Amino acid sequence: MTNLSFDVEKIREDFPIFSRELPDGRPLVYLDSGNSSQKPNQVIETMREHLALHYSNVGRAMHVLGSESTEAYEGARDKIAAFVGAPSRDEVIFTKNASEALNLVAYAFGNPSNTDPRFTLGPGDEIVISEMEHHSNIVPWQLLAQRTGATLKWFGVTDEGRLDLDLSVITERAKIVSIAHQSNVLGTVNPVAEVLGRAREVGALVMLDASQSVPHHPVNVAGLGVDFVAFTGHKMVGPSGIGVLWGRSELLEAMPPFLGGGEMIEAVWMDRSTYAPVPHKFEAGTPPIVEAIGLGAAVDYLSAIGMEAIEAHERTLTAYALDALREVSGLRLIGPSTLEQRGGTVAFTLEGVHPHDVGQILDDQFGVAVRVGHHCARPLHLRFGIPATTRASFYLYNTTGEIDALVRGLHHVQKVFA
């Protein structure tokens, strides 16, 4: 059932990329927002205007431009804090992407400069992740385990693409549990409350990679009750080069600086330094000023439409896609086959055709942009015994007609390889 209050055609008018034609006059059918979303005029113009009329470094200059730039940059922090329900604006740390945010937290564990018992880590201690993680939520913890001698453990994944919720994986030795809020391949929305409950029983901290959830659903970090949340701007109609780490104030204050340099200091002598308060303690050097302001504009744009409305629209698209793809013979869905606890990301294989060939034909002949490969989640693909998948991911600007174009393209692929 279509959400009549959600005018997708009007929304599409905000995105200049949808006015272009591909070679041979084909329209663009962009089904790759799980990789990176397109940008509306409101974000593009905000960034252009700041560069043209207000640009200066932040937190340093006393002149008019410096004040305007700092006000816009810190104003973006306020917008993002409100967007995700952060209790304090100072809990919002700007990073260059979600990967850096995840690495920042991993760096705090087992660090010789940090004696806080919540972050001490060594042989006998455990780190818990899951088999469905993006590499950005696997590799930093592998490196941490190698550095400290701690043990890396993980939740498995069921045949349906759900988290195999064996809570005994989280033992009394666990110090940190870091999982995806929503899978970038399966679309699965994970049961945060159950994982959090067990982690709290044993005193472990909990981090969420929310790169695939914050752009698509209402997310309230305080309501989730976790300790850290990472997400990125380029997946939520904002620019690349800007990400966010949210963390509870008392934890951020206990963590050591991640990078050293200008802005993150309080005072410097030749033999020692003291550090600025959170959030600036974690923002060394000149930050991605215009990118942060662009992310603030993206938050304004999404908020004006309403995250509940966006979620409902994507739910309609996902239901339509799941039904339509069932009509494609030889198609194997990788992930949940129902709408229960899943988002608008659909990964699949097509019998007898490599995903790279599927993607190329869809693009070359139908203008349908999907992603193919292991989507930076190779262990998950190994779990399902496949080298790669084709992934279609939906967002606020997509239509059911574009899903029809995807299905027509898949039928054509089958004819080519028959």
The Cα-based distances of 273 to 66, 270, 307, 384 in angstroms read 26, 8, 43, 50
How long is the chain? Answer: 418
314 closest CA partner among 398, 380, 414, 218: 398
**β-bridge partners, 408:** none
On whether the CB atoms of residues 130 and 163 are closer than 8 A, the answer is yes
Contact 170, 202 (CB under 8 A): yes
Residue with tokens 């409902």: 312
Q: Has 231 been annotated as catalytic?
A: no
Can you tell me the distance from the alpha carbon of 418 to that of 415, in angstroms, rounded to the nearest whole number? 5
DSSP string, 48-106: HHIIIII---SSS--SHHHHHHHHHHHHHHHHHHHHTT-S-GGGEEEESSHHHHHHHHH
The 3-state DSSP class for residue 46 equals helix
d(CA 82, CA 307): 13
Sequence letter at residue 332: R
Site of tokens 């043209």: 52
Cα separation values, 80 from 73, 93, 134, 246, 369, Å: 11, 10, 23, 10, 29
415 exposure class (CB count in 10 Å sphere: 0-12, 13-18, 19+): exposed
CA distances from 402 to 29, 177, 302, 340, 362 (A): 6, 38, 22, 23, 12
Of 22, 61, 376, 386, the catalytic one is: 376
* Closest CA relative to residue 183, chosen from 342, 307, 316: 342
Q: Where are the beta strands (DSSP E) in 327-381?
A: 331-334, 345-350, 368-369, 371-373
The long-range contacts involving 225-230, CB below 8 angstroms and separated by at least 24 positions, are: 225/193, 225/196, 226/192, 226/196, 227/251, 228/101, 228/105, 229/84, 229/181, 230/95, 230/98, 230/101, 230/102, 230/105
User: Which residues are the active-site residues?
Assistant: 376
